[in-house]
Structure 1
Amino acid sequence: MSDLAAYLGAAILVAWAASMSVLERHGARRPIRRAGLVFALCEGCSLALLAPRTVSALTDAGLPGPAVVAAGDAVRALAISFLMMLACALNPRGCGRRPGCQLAMAVLVQAAMLALFVIARPRLDAEGELMADPPGRWPLALRVAVFAGYAIWALTELFLALLPQARLAGTRALRWGVRLFLVAIVFGMLWSLWSYDDILDVLRHGELNGSEDVLSNVLGAVCASLVVTGALLGRSGATLSATARWLRLYRCYRLLGPLWTALRAAMPYIAFPQASRPRMAGRLRLEFALYRRVIEIHDGRLVLRPYHHPAVASWVAAASDSGPSDALVEAATIAAALENMRRQRRFTDSSEAPAGDPGLVLTDLDSEVLWLSRVAWAFSRSPVIPAVLERLRAEEG
């Protein structure tokens, strides 16, 4: 389980970093993107290097076990350093230090971890545990504390730098991507805090899990998954927005179908000539068809104005359990007007300002689409429409 989680997290991070490097090799790489990709690559390599099976295989190949663990920790500390660089690039004043100072801090942390490891002189037992004699327990515990403190500091700075972007990002997909990054940072903090349990083990028993334990590798895999998912979501925001818009337009197109069909059946002359349809594909073709329906419905509504019955609004109010919406009143007005047109009944006194017709004054085309979608839904599905038509026919009788 520990090996599986470690290798899974490593594969996700390394594959994502490699793919992003290939896709953007011809473009300008900003420091933010560069720091993020190097962090992902280093963290993925450290997860794979510190996996129990990797440590065992390298030890069997003749490499000193403590050296393998020290190398894995050095790569992970390097990843944390690039994480701090990323936080400074996102919010230069948040860290309180310039990039040069952060570089010096990264070198100091690496040197301190190496010196404490040499002073502790641990050995690796058959189960992959680092063992330290009583004189080396304090240096080894201090080494763990230095790395955990540095990691928590970097994660805190990155969290504070990203937090405003969760509300200010330009698109919904980008905002959700930032939120996933924030969740990943929280898991990263838990991962780092779990290291303090190792400090107690070192001080009490002189034992330190040289290769990561199950919980640490699971937390690492979760962090990797959240980071890559957030990055992909942020990058694909435009694609997701376009897809969501296409689905919304298609839903409106389907909703307008019954109303559009009824109006064209009663007034075939409102239809555009087929020869005027341009050759388009994909979303543009759907938008053209949808807006064409909107215009034809709009023309049909204008033709029906002399046939509007002045009492429709009151009939709808009487037939509705709650207060009728403007869309329902408009749908009932159109349905009654179509019936009056079939019977050649005009109401010229209502042609100037028909009741329940706010859609005629909308100037934004998308707003018109949404308004007519609500009208079309009520026209085809509301039980009030048959009640209004039944009352209209009863009035004639």
Structure 2
Amino acid sequence: MNVVFLGMALLLTGAAGYWVFGRGTPRPTGVWAMGGLLGAFALAFASYAPLVGDTVETLVPHVARLLSNSASLAAATAVLAVIFQLNLDPVEARRRIRVRLALLGTTVASMTILFAVEQLAHRSPHVYAVYLLLYVSYLGFAVVDFLAQALRQSTSTRRSSVRVGLRTAAAGCVFALIYLVYKLVRLIDLGLSLGLVDSHAECSSLVGTPCVFSVTSPVLAVLLMCVGLTLPAVIYPISQARRRRWEVRSFEALGGLWQDLSAAMPHIVLSSEDAEDMSTESDFLLQRRVIEISDGILTLRPYRPRAVQAMAEGTVDAGTVRGAAAVEAAVVKAALSNLEVGRLADDVAPPSAEAHSRRDLRAATEWYLLMAHAYASSGGRVADDGQANTVGA
């Protein structure tokens, strides 16, 4: 168990250090709260390790319990601080955090006094019952408060990583409540002297009784809350890297269609000054290319022959998105051929309904990618007279 608990403590300490000192400037909101949360969780895991408990108890007998309980309360308070900063405006979040910190300090100080009195009274069960009442009351209040905040935020957030993370943290609250029920049973047992729980039992297994309630449950609660609250920060850079890769690949895939359109209609190319300033912004460059392609297709509207559209619809399944893109690619090729010779279409083909349904950058890009693939695959431009012309800018 020492390896598990101390290993997690070291991992969380490193994560806390990165979060606080490795986030760069300016620091985003909640950096210190999240660093405090990870640090408190690291202390909680370390306090569960038998090696740490045995070491501190050589200095002060039975103090490992106070250290572990105080770390758990600090972790619960840190969790609340993070969720408040997610859910509330900054002023209200700071006010609530100050109240919780004051309550935490009062509770830990009272528990420390009661611990000292208990030791002086030869481990009086009645004094310990009061100590346990303070601990259970504060922790129960914090867990229920966090669970309500997490469930409320998870139903309103748009980011899937935040939603999954908050629900994972809420699952951790379930294990925390199991732990609190165990502590409540112990409290009743001490108050009524029922002898239901062996207070001198040693934990040798994480799945044995009562260790499954006193150690395993809080460990799982801490782990799930930690994973849940840090998941969005881990997923975000990964999703951003995937998004940038998709943007770069899409930008390159649209190159053939864009080159033919921009060569025939140079005026659709936007100012190059902006491109020089934002040459490293893949989202800007992709949006710019999509806009230029869209402008080029709009400019070709008088040259779009309906005859070519009807012929293309007869060769593909125009009811599918891919088929509609193939039809539109054929019409655009024919319109470019007509533009080159200055021939207006006798019967203008209407624009594709699929193109009008694409309202955001990703949807529009996906449509033009299908068009660009069909455009490149067909090999030549088809004009009104059905003759193929050479493709090229």
Q: Is TM more than 0.5 here?
A: yes
State the AA in 2 paired with 1:166.
S
Q: 1:283 aligns to what SS in structure 2?
A: coil
Contact conserved, 1:113 with 1:146, CA < 8 A, in 2?
no
- Which residues of 2 match residues 309-324 of structure 1 at below 5 A? 309-321=305-317, 323=319
The answer on whether the counterparts of 1:74 and 1:110 sit within 8 Å (CA) in structure 2 is: no
- Does residue 153 (structure 1) correspond to residue 138 (structure 2)? The answer is no
1:46-57 alignment to 2 at 5 Å? 46-57=44-55
Give the Cα–Cα distance (whole angstroms) in 1 for the partners of residues 69 and 170 of structure 2: 19
What displacement does 1:338 show? 5.8
Correspondence for 2:196: 203
Superposition map of 1:112-127 within 5 A: 112=111, 115=114, 118-119=117-118
Identity %: 14
The two structures have a TM-score, normalised by structure 1, of 0.65
1:17-32 counterparts in 2 under 5 A? 17-22=16-21
Please report how far the alpha carbon of residue 190 of structure 1 lies from its aligned counterpart in structure 2 after TM superposition: 0.5
Q: Is the 8 A contact 2:300 2:336 kept in 1?
A: no
Report the alpha carbon displacement of residue 333 of structure 1 after superposing the two structures with TM.
Answer: 1.0
Does residue 176 of structure 2 align to residue 177 of structure 1? no
TM-score (norm 2): 0.66
CA distance in 1, matches of 2:294, 2:242: 25
Equivalent-residue separation in structure 2 for 1:289 and 1:88 (angstroms): 37
| CA separation of 1:148 and 1:87: change in aligned 2, threshold 3 A | farther
Q: Which residue of 2 aligns with 1:220?
A: 222
**Structure 1 Cα separation of the partners of residues 115 and 56 of structure 2:** 23
Which residue number in structure 2 is paired with residue 250 of structure 1?
A: 248
**Selected match of 1:193 from 174, 178, 184:** 178
Separation in structure 2 between the aligned mates of residue 68 and residue 33 of structure 1, nearest angstrom: 29
Return the alpha-carbon distance in structure 1 between the equivalents of residues 330 and 121 of structure 2: 84
Query: Contact 2:168–2:227 (CA<8 Å) still a contact in 1?
Result: no
Q: Secondary structure at 1:8's aligned position in 2?
A: helix
Instruction: Decide whether aligned partners of structure 1 residues 104 and 370 sit closer, same or farther in structure 2, where only a CA change above 3 A counts.
Output: closer
- If asked which structure has higher relative contact order (CA below 8 Å, sep 6+), I would say 1
Q: Unpaired runs of 5+ in structure 2?
A: 190-194, 204-210, 389-393
Q: 1:197/1:244 Cα in 2 relative to 1: closer, same or farther (>3 Å)?
A: same
The RMSD of aligned alpha carbons is 5.2
Local SS of the residue matching 2:314: helix
Instruction: Tell me: CA distance 1:84–1:252, structure 2 relative to 1, closer, same or farther (3 Å).
Output: closer
The residue type equivalent to 2:49 in the other structure is A
Equivalent runs, 1:2-21 vs 2, <5 Å: 2-21=1-20
In structure 2, the CA distance between the partners of 1:371 and 1:122, relative to structure 1 (3 Å rule), is: farther
Which residue does 1:349 correspond to in 2?
A: 346
1:191 to 1:98, Cα distance in 2 relative to 1, 3 A: closer
